[in-house]
Amino acid sequence: MVPIPTARPATGLDRVPAPALFVVSGLTQYAGAAVAVGLFAQLGAPAVGWWRIVLAAVVLLAWRRPWRRRPGRRELVGAGMFGVVLAAMNIAFYIAIGHLPLGVVVAMEFLGPVVVAAVTGRGWRERAAILVAGGGVVLLAGVTLDSGLPREDVLIGLAAALAAAAFWAGYVVLGKRVAGAGSGVDGLAVGMAVGALVFAPFFGASVPEVVVDPGLLLFLLVVAVCSSVVPYVLDQVVLRRLGTATFAVLLALLPATAAVVGAVVLRQLPTWPEIVGLALVSGAIVMTART
């Protein structure tokens, strides 16, 4: 990440408190996911996840025009790998929320970053955090299995949520390399374009249906902007103003934010055991925050 010169004039976003930006980022991200759920019946969850990547890539490419920087081959390969993992993560996430409550899926998905922090960390807190997070995930999975949902839906949802967690772990590792290369949002734009192209053979058949339906295309654009463009851009603003540890603590708000959005928009009210599981996962995120 390129340091911001101290003489740079403050923008409107720079005057907004960082925690407020983070809350807006979380709310827009999961509000977009709630909108996406309503499109699953028409397109299917995996296709909606792919269209989120496609349209977010179009918006970011039009905005950033990364080709002006003339990135090197190594940078392009790194951004491409990052984008493929990012696309796979989003598709798996959408499959999961098509079968399980939003808050449960988000909490399980956080197992990926917690494991990365535990593996790369050196203190006892990181090691203990994986046990705490694992306990929360086991509790959430057990409650979900006994929730009365069809067993096939539960098993597919759990498998997709854990796959999303694994891809998120890869996203963290590869994303750090992309950021270290100095490409930032430009690398994100290139990566999303590559990810969209890689998965096009699997979901490209939905293109004729979408392009002839302006209403459907508009809803997909809302999903892409709310769930990808706005959160990623706001994260860049927040990260350059906060330390990693503080950012990680704020990250612990996301499972709760997803549960609130699921309850309000999708009427997915969490049970007390699910709330305990969410609290354990959030606590593990805080434990992995290092100064």
pLDDT value at residue 70: 73
Q: What pLDDT, on a 0 to 100 scale, did the predictor assign at position 91?
A: 96
Asked whether residue 11 is assigned to any structural domain, the reply reads: no
Q: What pLDDT sits at residue 9? A: 43
Paired tokens of 77: 């390969």
For residue 202, being part of any structural domain is answered with yes
Q: Which two tokens stand for residue 139?
A: 């509790």
CA angle 20, 21, 22 (to 5 degrees): 90
As for how many domains the chain has, the answer is 1
Residue 214 in domain: yes
Q: What is the CA radius of gyration of the chain?
A: 19
Does a structural domain hold residue 62? yes
* Residue 238 within a domain: yes
Of 78, 54, 67, 107, the closest CA to residue 278 belongs to 107
Residue-level pLDDT at 150? 87
pLDDT at 54: 96
Residue 4 within any structural domain of the chain: no
User: What are the per-10-residue average pLDDT scores of the chain (291 residues)?
Assistant: 37 70 85 92 94 95 83 82 94 94 89 81 76 85 78 92 92 77 76 95 94 95 93 73 64 81 87 87 78 42
Q: In terms of residue numbers, what domain contains 37?
A: 18-287
Secondary structure, 3-state, 147-203: CCCCHHHHHHHHHHHHHHHHHHHHHHHHHHHHHHCCCHHHHHHHHHHHHHHHHHHHH
How many other CB atoms sit within 10 Å of the CB of residue 60? Answer: 24
Report the pLDDT value the prediction gives residue 6, as an integer from 0 to 100: 37
> What pLDDT sits at residue 232?
77
In a domain, 8, yes or no: no
pLDDT computed for residue 66 by the predictor: 82
The verdict on residue 7 lying in a domain is no
Among 43, 39, 30, which residue's Cα sits nearest to residue 203? Answer: 43
Alpha helix (H) residue ranges in the chain: 18-37, 40-43, 45-64, 73-97, 102-109, 111-120, 124-145, 151-180, 184-203, 207-211, 214-224, 230-239, 244-251, 253-265, 272-287
* Rounded Cα gap, residues 93 and 108, in angstroms: 10
